[in-house]
Chain A
Amino acid sequence: MELLANLALGLETAITPVNLFYCFAGVFLGTFVGVIPGVGPLAAISMLFPITFYLDPTAALIMLAGIYYGTTYGGSTASILLNIPGATSAAVTCLDGYPMAQQGRAGVALFMTTIASFVGGSFGIVILSLFSPVIAEYALTFGPAEYFSLMVLGLVAASTIANASPSRGLSMVVLGMLVATVGTDSQSGVARFTFGSMSLLEGFGISAMAMGLFGIGEILSSVGATRSAKIDSSSAKMRNMLPSRDDWRRSWMPGLRGSSIGAFFGALPGTGPSIAAFMAYAVEKRVSDTPERFGHGAIEGIVAPETANNAADQTAFIPTLTLGIPGSATMALMLGALMVHGIQPGPTLIVEQPALFWGLVMSFWIGNLILLVLNLPLIGIWVRLLLVPYHYLYPAILVFVCIGAYSVRANAADVAMVLAFGVLGYVMRIAQLPAAPLLLGFVLGPLVETQFRRAMVLARGDFTAILERPIAGTVIAISVLMLVWGLGGAMLRRRRKILDTRHQKSVGG
């Protein structure tokens, strides 16, 4: 009953006209930012952060959070229509969203992602309000060994995401990990591969890499290509958007699994919506009876990641608000908004600032409802935004991307890095190497290394001590099984193919 009283208090706070206005402003802005490729939530929130100095902390947080989860709603639109993720968390949605658009089912894809986003978001909010204290306590039992094992699982899963051969996926994961070794060594403080450059001490920025690989890479490859943006604006009509009964039937289990995976990874610091989306997609492909449909417009392939990233968006607030640990740079900004007003985020926040905490939680509900209402009829407008001819849209995006890259650290070198990663992304496209595993390797690589080295110090150099920890040992065992299964499966398929072709030859000959 205490929960109900808390939710009532939260609703009271969230429903004041001022807070409603900032909630609406946040989610609207977030959707807009999400639709435009290259400008992610981090860039948008960074740019708007100074506003919070003039706002009440609750209103400020409601707006910033609105931008954050609004972006995830909007991010899938560009993924589906242009094959460019509007935000990194929507990168996976490209894999099946774009093929759906090519099959003339863009409207259905957009409709389903909105519904999936709403379902995932709602699931995340329920978890957030029910389990905040419990999960916060549970997170403490996760030490370096446990995180290391989870990251290994993530990497193994990552190499099976791409539709390319496992060897290509795996090599891109490794390349991503290698790129991530640039910067200050996490355990000794020694500069690695920086060649005396100050701006490389922090390593390559994730935003620079994502914007470059996915944003600029796409723009570069569209230059000279005669391909025109084939967006059928009629696909955004309500009639063409309604999913078939078969779509619904296929979607509800992936939605449920996606929500759970998303809620789990969102609550773990250092993972977040992008990884949640990757994982949900990988799991869906694994459990599917028809994995070959993935990458060719399988509706499960958009529902799972979209529920996962939205659920993760909401549960990411659990470690941030209950422990004061930001799981990502964006969450760090949320913490900053609190601290600007002298509120110390941490285990005491829920008790000391119940109106703020529960008001924020309730504003998530309202924000998600607004997004649902806003997105279904407004998809037409977002589509029209993307119908702007490329020769107007792309230079504008380039400018946005450069501003965004610069805004993160106010460092001109970051802009150059974005452009360099853009060239890399272009080259990889020509060589048909998948970019998503590269990005995941880049994100997970340093985490694996850092957590492994920490775990080894804490085990005083005895690797078996890591395997003896129940959670860590189990997860590592699962990872090994997955790897064997994946590689074994690929080898079997290959052998069968060779046998088949031989058979055909012998029959034909």
Chain B
Amino acid sequence: MKKIIAAAIGAALSTTVAFAQGNYPSGPVTIIVPYGTGGSTDLTARAVAIELEKIWNSPVVVVNKKGAGSMIGTTEVTQAAPDGLTLLLNTAAITTAPAIQSDLKFDPVKDITPISLLITSPYVLVGGANVKSNDFSGFLEEAQTRPMFMGTAGPGSSSHFMSELVILGANLPADVVHFSGGGEAQTNMMGGHSDTYISTTASVMPYVNDGRVKALAVLANKRFPLLPDVQASGEAGVKGVDIEGWVALFGPGGMDPALADQINADFAKAMATDSMQKLLTDNYALAGDLSPAEFWVVYERDLKIWKDLAEKRGIGK
């Protein structure tokens, strides 16, 4: 009898550390996408879920919980158990939203475990019909004679924060105009109603490629390898705007670091597949290669940058 009990205890103990031995996941994994169906984050999640099902031999369910600038879905994940069976795929919005939303039901540092930086791509400043210059240096001069209107996808969006960052970093004479989503911001720019828009490569490159907007700058210190012809903001002497856009994986707060490492490795495997690599090239993006600990540093740094910027520029006030 004692033997049986001992065996049972042993078995119970071994399951609690099972993930470390490669037995994760113990059941279906839910990836929460805090945006609607069909958006770029949703598409990434659905594509990567197919690859993960092959790796894990276990169902992976993508659930869309949109609203409140991605904070509704994010809040839901923070309330789940940190067993790796509930994950969150979010963009940099997870770092910008806490800077302006005062009603959050969670602590963005304590209640979230950053796991994996899946996709990175630089932010690109694009100009519309009314912008005459073709690069960033020219644009900065043009703005001295004619103050610019920088269109955004809405207050608190990454395009808004990046625009404010550029205004601050380049001492740019410009006003921010908020549109409802990136599509509207871009068409208003094409129609000459506003002048610029900032977003990641995936959203602006289709329009750059068909010549309706022009890429003025990659917001980075050095040129982006996939867009060698576009001037980097650093070349024009503008500092402090070199933030990258990303799509990343998070879990509820307090996740075991070993489990986070395991999930990070599995996602890296999924990102290395042909189908995911094609998705990346199509979107002019790169796969991230940070460990959970390294990504944690980036995450907290970005949270702070946006919080400080919000205070300095009076965003959300």
Contacts and interface: CB of A to CB of B under 8 A. Distances in A.
Interface string A28-41: 00000000000000
Contacts of A466: none
A332 B39 CA distance: 9
B188 interface: yes
Given A144-B193, A191-B103, A454-B179, A325 B184 contact: yes
Contacts of A325: 183-184, 187
A3 interface: no
A43 B51 CA distance: 30
A323 to B, nearest CB: 6
Contacts of B65: 409-410
Nearest to A143: B193
A410 B282 CA distance: 32
Contacts of A199: 67, 72
A163 interface: no
A140 B180 CA distance: 16
Nearest to A183: B68
A25 interface: no
8 contacts: A139-B187, A139-B191, A140-B187, A186-B154, A189-B100, A201-B67, A202-B68, A454-B177
Q: Is the interface of A mostly helix, strand, loop or mixed?
A: loop
Contacts, number: 121
Interface in A23-61: 49, 53
Interface stretch (B206-214, B232-240, B261-269): B206-214
A20 to B, nearest CB: 25
Interface residues of A, number: 49
Contact of A336 (B37, B100, B160): B37
A333 interface: yes
Interface string B306-317: 000000000111
A221 B46 CA distance: 45
B138 interface: no
A383 interface: no
B66 to A, nearest CB: 7
Contacts of B254: none
B154 A189 contact: yes
Contacts of B256: none
B194 interface: yes
Given A186-B178, A338-B38, A458-B193, 20 more contacts: A53-B46, A140-B192, A143-B188, A184-B68, A190-B316, A191-B101, A191-B103, A198-B72, A198-B105, A201-B67, A332-B36, A339-B39, A339-B40, A340-B43, A347-B212, A348-B206, A410-B63, A410-B65, A457-B149, A458-B194
A140 B38 contact: no
A457 B39 CA distance: 29
A504 interface: no
A508 interface: no
A140 B191 contact: yes
B127 interface: no
B230 to A, nearest CB: 20
Contacts of B107: none
A140 B75 CA distance: 38
A198 B40 CA distance: 24
A409 B43 contact: no
A53 B36 CA distance: 15
A92 B104 CA distance: 41
Residue with the highest number of chain A CB atoms closer than 10 Å, among B72, B187, B188: B187
Interface in B140-167: 149, 154-156, 160
A432 interface: no
A199 B72 CA distance: 8
B229 interface: no
Contacts of B155: 184-189
Interface in A307-330: 323-326
B210 A347 contact: yes
A371 interface: no
B38 A333 contact: yes
Contacts of B102: 191
A411 B67 contact: yes
Given A140-B190, A194-B103, A457-B149, A201 B178 contact: no
Interface string A403-429: 000000111000000000000000000
B316 A188 contact: yes
B151 to A, nearest CB: 9
Contacts of A326: 183
Contacts of A337: 38
Question: Closest 7 interchain pairs by CB?
Answer: A336-B38, A189-B155, A143-B193, A140-B191, A201-B68, A189-B156, A325-B183
B180 A450 contact: yes
A198 B178 CA distance: 22
Nearest to A139: B187
Nearest to B160: A189
Contacts of B315: 189
A335 interface: yes
Contacts of A291: none
Contacts of A339: 38-40, 43
Contacts of B66: 409
Interface in A415-467: 450, 454, 457-458, 460
A459 to B, nearest CB: 11
A141 interface: yes
A485 interface: no
A344 interface: yes
B71 interface: yes
A269 B188 CA distance: 12
A323 B72 contact: no
Q: Which of B66, B69, B180 has most chain A Cβ within 10 Å? A: B180
Contacts of A460: 175
B206 A346 contact: yes
A21 interface: no
A323 B210 CA distance: 12
Nearest to B188: A143
Contacts of A509: none
Given A143-B188, A325-B187, A342-B282, A49 B103 contact: no
B21 to A, nearest CB: 34
A324 B181 CA distance: 12
A222 B257 CA distance: 60
